[in-house]
Amino acid sequence: IAGGWRTLTIDEWRYVILNRPDASSKRGAATLCGVHGIILLPDDWEGSGFTPGFDGRWSTNVYDAKSWAEMEASGAVFLPAAGIRIGMEVNIVGDFGNYWSATPRNDVSAYHIIFDDSLVSYYYFPNRSHGQSVRLAQDNN
């Protein structure tokens, strides 16, 4: 995409979510201005007011617009639990987040990450015709 924006590969998602140093302390379930999702913190995070992990509650980390603006300015990223579209219906909004990677598995499926208030992981999705969220990243070249 113009300006160097692109979708992360599954290896990049795995690194950010699972494999970077202290990955488990830099991610967690949250509610931002009433919207459920997860927060990913930058490697050099030194802020306070964040509890890492997924304990089955979206209420562990709750932020209003002002407190989120401070976190975002420090490099934090929020991924909303936007659900999934199958055909004309959108389901599980506010309960699950499904985000595509740029990595195909075969002709009809691709890898993605999935999360709720209890877990975050990656899988392949058996049908690329289903609508999932996309998080773009900008290359620093």
Q: What is the pLDDT of residues 43-77, one digit of tens each?
A: 999 888 899 999 889 999 999 999 999 999 999 99
The answer to whether 77 and 92 are in contact (CB under 8 A) is no
Choose between 128 and 100: higher pLDDT.
100
The answer to whether 112 and 123 are in contact (CB under 8 A) is yes
- What residue type is assigned to position 51 of the chain? T
Closest CA to 81 of 106, 109, 107, 113: 113
Q: How far apart are CA 48 and CA 31, in angstroms?
A: 16
Model-level pTM?
A: 0.90
Q: How far apart are CA 60 and CA 116, in angstroms?
A: 13
Q: What is the pLDDT of residues 80-95, one digit of tens each?
A: 999 988 888 999 999 9
